[in-house]
Chain A
Amino acid sequence: MSAPLGFPVRAAAKLATPLALLFAIYVLANGSAGAGSGVAAGALGAGALIAHALVFGLEAAARVAHPALLRAGAALGLAALVGLGLSGVAGGQALFDFTPLAQTPGPPAWRLGAGLLQGALAVVTLCVFTLLFLAFAGRAGELKDPAG
């Protein structure tokens, strides 16, 4: 999985990968005003990391996104989602009622809660997708390259 690619591919990847990550952040931040959601942002970010791994090799990608970091991100993102849901219960409201987050009911609380939820969903999506690719691709390199 770390075949040396030509200069044009590496140059294009160096240009495109940060832009894709930036676009993922834009999609996440701009979701409430247009097209976009946590899953889309997470998938775009994971796509950028996977492209990095395909062009520069798994080791380079794992230096940026270490598997331990990704595992922690997936677990903490899920924990954050559960916590967001339970924060409503803790504040005496229904599950996933975000009113206690901003003390007052209405748009501020709901927007804050939904934004946090989409952010956590983006983290879980990015981490799990990237982890799955690293797991499969890493093994493939090991199996197909007995000398390595």
Chain B
Amino acid sequence: MSALADPQIWAFAGAGALSLALAVALARARAPLAVALLTIVLAALAGVMFLALDAPDAALAQIGAAGVIGAIFLAAFLLTGRSGAPESARPRSPGRGAPALAAVAACAAALLWATPDLPAFGEGGAAGRLYVNRAAGEVGARSAVWAVGGDYRAFDALAQALLLVTCGLGVHALLGLGERAALGRARRNKADAEAGP
């Protein structure tokens, strides 16, 4: 009774339902611009869901990253064609989707099978209770999330930074990181201007 009166539940359910609908639209979308925009909206909706679950830390990171990654997606799509492959170029035979569907169903079954092992919603496991009870006294932080991210799971932060830098190195290998593109053009423009009309 009290659960249904909680507006946060309704915000979470609404954002979740909208996410599902947008995910279907995203799977069916072909135009790169539509894919990029739907991805941004989906990521922002995930932020709304975090907010409804009383996780402002995760929501802030999620919405911030949604905007930035969306902008990066849009810039990357400027490098590609404006439309997807034509319908005729995509082979369509009846049985083609079956292995993919089976793989998705197997993953979903594994997740559902693991769900009962999770602690009840809002309970937290033994580690969760330990973090919440000890964060203030041990780390001196009022935000338990900050203490977990910075102290108890500091190794994860290192892995996160490694992942980001690896992404950057991958783009560096493919495109070069910035100078040639961003500044090369400016330098050429300047040289043209100095050379005169």
Residues on A facing B (Cβ under 8 Å): 1, 27, 31-40, 43-44, 46-47, 50, 54, 58-59, 61-62, 67-68, 70-71, 74-75, 77-78, 81-82, 84-85, 95-96, 98, 106-108, 110-111, 113-115, 117-118, 120-121, 124-125, 128-129, 131-144, 148
Give the docked Cα–Cα distance between A43 and B70 (Å).
12
Asked if A35 and B182 sit within 8 Å, CB to CB, the answer is no
Asked if B68 and A114 sit within 8 Å, CB to CB, the answer is no
Contact of B57 among A37, A54, A125, A137 (CB under 8 A): A37
Which stretch in B19-27, B106-114, B125-133, B145-153 binds the other chain?
A: B145-153
- Chain B residues contacting A68 (CB-CB under 8 Å) are 179
Q: A108-B140, A124-B164 are in contact. Are A135 and B171 (CB under 8 A)?
A: yes
> Taking the nearest CB of chain A, how far is it from the CB of B193, in angstroms?
12
Contact of A138 among B68, B69, B150, B178 (CB under 8 A): B178
- Chain A residues contacting B56 (CB-CB under 8 Å) are 34-35
Asked if B165 and A114 sit within 8 Å, CB to CB, the answer is no
Give the docked Cα–Cα distance between A111 and B79 (Å).
44
Contact of A117 among B59, B79, B154, B182 (CB under 8 A): B154
Query: How many residues from B make CB contacts under 8 Å with A?
Result: 56
Asked if B177 and A32 sit within 8 Å, CB to CB, the answer is no
Asked if B78 and A136 sit within 8 Å, CB to CB, the answer is yes
Asked if A114 and B139 sit within 8 Å, CB to CB, the answer is yes
Give the docked Cα–Cα distance between A44 and B162 (Å).
20
Contact of B177 among A34, A35, A95, A135 (CB under 8 A): A135
> Taking the nearest CB of chain A, how far is it from the CB of B83, in angstroms?
16
Give the docked Cα–Cα distance between A117 and B158 (Å).
9
Q: A50-B71, A148-B189 are in contact. Are A139 and B181 (CB under 8 A)?
A: yes
Interface residue? B84 (CB, 8 A): no
